[in-house]
C-alpha cells in the first residue's frame, strides 16, 4: 500500500480506486507481473519455510512434554 496525497486527499493507490481522466498530460505506468522464475523462487522459499515451521513446532511440543514430566 502506498500512502500519500493526491489532490489534497489521501487514498489508496489501486487501479480500481484511481480515477481515469483521459486527455490529461502526465506520465503513466503499469507494474508488470513478476517473471515465472521469481514466482517459482517464492513458491520454493514458502515450501522450505513451511517445513521449518513444522520442525520448530514439533520441537517445541517435544520440549513442552519433556518439561511436563
Q: What is the mean pLDDT of residues 8-22?
A: 60
Express as a percent the part of the chain with pLDDT over 90: 46
* Model pLDDT, residue 8: 60
Q: What is the mean pLDDT of the chain?
A: 79
pLDDT at 28 over 90: no
Q: How far is CA 11 from the centre of its chain?
A: 19
* Model pLDDT, residue 31: 83
- 32-51 confidence digits (pLDDT tens): 899 999 999 999 999 999 99
* Model pLDDT, residue 30: 80
Task: Show me where the domains of the chain are located.
Answer: 35-69
Amino acid at each position: 500500500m502506498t500512502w500519500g496525497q493526491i489532490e489534497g486527499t489521501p487514498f489508496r493507490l489501486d487501479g480500481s480506486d484511481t480515477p481515469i481522466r483521459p486527455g490529461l498530460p502526465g506520465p503513466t505506468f503499469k507494474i508488470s507481473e513478476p517473471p515465472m522464475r521469481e514466482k517459482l523462487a517464492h513458491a520454493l522459499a514458502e515450501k522450505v519455510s513451511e517445513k521449518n515451521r513444522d520442525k520448530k513446532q514439533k520441537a517445541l511440543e517435544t520440549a513442552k512434554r519433556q518439561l511436563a514430566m
